[in-house]
Amino acid sequence: MKKTVGSIIVAAGLSSRLKDFKPLMKIGSSTIIESTINNFKLLGVDEIVVVTGYRENVLKNSISCENIRFVHNSNYEITHMFDSICLGLKEIRNKVDLIFITPADSPFVQQFTLKRMMDRMKNSNYEIIQPSYEGKCGHPLLISSEYVNTILKHDGTNGLQGVITYKSDSYLNMSFVDPGIVMDADKKPDYQALLKYNEIKGCPSVEMCEKMLNHFQATDLVKSHSHKVMEVALSINEKLEKRGLILDKDAIVAASMLHDIAKGNPHHGEVGANWLMEMGFEIISNIVREHMELKELSPVIREKEVVYLADKLVMENKICSIEERFLLKEELFKSNEIITKVVEKRKHQAMLLYDIIFGTG
């Protein structure tokens, strides 16, 4: 039976440390709270409850998202976040099976994180799951509806963390490569960090790529191969720049480093691309999805063609010719006509790209 999912978004606080009303502060074209709401809508949750307090009417009137339930904490000035959470739980407890709990200022948690948390709870006996990034716990928490009574009976000491300590056998911490887990807007520098992250979150840095390779347990050979592909791709990009063709260098670097992130899985190109899409790296995902074989060969060189060709010029962690790269597979599958056609198509694509870029076959 499909389990229903809800989310409680707490926006009842005074935002006293920030000296501004943080749910309605802008990130790009949306407010912080709208970004948080839309992230859960993208996930496809069945119920969303926003707990209001300070500036209730202003907040409700500013949220353009549909199908949102509101619960008001009239004692917001003298209560804590835990009290607002309990109000939200009472509203949603009988409507869903799983419940995400998050503050309003947590807009950038990856879909990958949210989906893996849900999958783990659906297939285990854990009643509360908390994500972490680089050893630091963050949001959102995910709880089973069966766990709600335990939370409501808690006296509020140390908030939800106090409940976690009490029910440690039902608790799981899941580690992700997701900075959004630990980001908020409590203070002005935190808000500035959110704004900066919003500008760069579509393309992981080299450091982030390294963390991702480690998280997904890439082998040393995959890592060394990926670094060599990156070197070759940058060399190709430099040649194209001299001709006046300016591509997205950061995307080329990231896609080169991550093209084999799912190596070892069947259809690893598709699997890796899907992971990256869920992590918010759409441009990188599209390049990785075609690193094995281009859907169509265009005479216009873009980032995906650069990464595709670079991958075909590296065997394990050494530079090679296209002939060398395909020789082993041609020999291995020579008796299989179907696979041979696939190999020849990929080789032909690489040769044509090489000819376009370098002028010789």
Question: What pLDDT, on the 0 to 100 scale, is given for residue 330?
Answer: 83
Alpha-carbon radius of gyration of the chain: 24
Do both 31 and 169 map to the same domain?
A: yes
Collapsing DSSP to helix, strand or coil, 100 comes out as strand
Do both 133 and 270 map to the same domain?
A: no
Question: What pLDDT, on the 0 to 100 scale, is given for residue 336?
Answer: 86
Do both 166 and 269 map to the same domain?
A: no
Spatial CB neighbours of 222, under 8 Å, sequence gap ≥ 6: 213, 260, 263
CA angle (204, 117, 260) in 5-degree steps: 40
Do both 211 and 128 map to the same domain?
A: no
Question: Mean pLDDT across the stretch 27-54?
Answer: 96
**Domain holding 187: CATH number?**
3.90.550.10
Q: Is residue 40 part of a domain?
A: yes
Phi-psi region of 23 (alpha: psi -120 to 50; beta: other; left: phi over 0): alpha
- Range from 60-64, 191-195, 245-249, 286-290 carrying the lowest mean pLDDT: 60-64
Cβ–Cβ < 8 Å for 88, 71: yes
CA-to-CA distance for 145 and 94, rounded, in angstroms?
Answer: 8
Condensed to tens digits (0 to 9), the pLDDT of residues 297-312 reads 988 999 999 999 999 9
Q: What is the pTM of this model?
A: 0.94
Q: Is residue 360 part of a domain?
A: no
Question: What pLDDT, on the 0 to 100 scale, is given for residue 43?
Answer: 98
Condensed to tens digits (0 to 9), the pLDDT of residues 6-18 reads 999 999 988 877 7
Q: Is residue 332 part of a domain?
A: no
Q: Which residue has the higher pLDDT, 330 or 45?
A: 45
Do both 39 and 186 map to the same domain?
A: yes
Do both 180 and 222 map to the same domain?
A: no
CA-to-CA distance for 68 and 61, rounded, in angstroms?
Answer: 12
Do both 250 and 133 map to the same domain?
A: no
Q: Is residue 335 part of a domain?
A: no
Question: What pLDDT, on the 0 to 100 scale, is given for residue 337?
Answer: 85
Percent above pLDDT 70 for the chain: 99
Q: Is residue 284 part of a domain?
A: yes
Q: Which two tokens mark 306?
A: 């650069």
Domain stops at, among 148, 165, 200 = 200
The DSSP 8-state label assigned to residue 182 in this structure reads G
Of the candidates 118, 106, 139, the residue with the CA atom closest to the CA atom of residue 4: 118
Q: Is residue 117 part of a domain?
A: yes
Of the candidates 111, 156, 155, 148, the residue with the CA atom closest to the CA atom of residue 131: 111
H/E/C letters for each residue in 195-251? HHHHHHCCCCCHHHHHHHHHHCCCCHHHHHHHHHHHHHHHHHHHHHHHCCCCCCHHH
Checking DSSP bridges between strand 98-103 and strand 69-72, what pairing results, if any?
unpaired
**Domain holding 306: CATH number?**
1.10.3210.10
Q: Which two tokens mark 348?
A: 């032909």
Q: Is residue 275 part of a domain?
A: yes
CA-to-CA distance for 145 and 5, rounded, in angstroms?
Answer: 10
How many angstroms separate the Cα of 111 from the Cα of each of 103, 114, 178, 316? 17, 5, 10, 32
Quote the number of domains for the chain.
2
| Overall size of the chain counted in residues | 361
Do both 35 and 150 map to the same domain?
A: yes
Do both 170 and 250 map to the same domain?
A: no
Domain stops at, among 164, 180, 200 = 200
Which residues of 95-185 form beta strands (DSSP E)? 98-103, 128-133, 136-137, 141-144, 171-175
Question: Containing domain of residue 38, as a range?
Answer: 5-200
Q: Is residue 260 part of a domain?
A: yes
Condensed to tens digits (0 to 9), the pLDDT of residues 340-350 reads 999 999 999 99
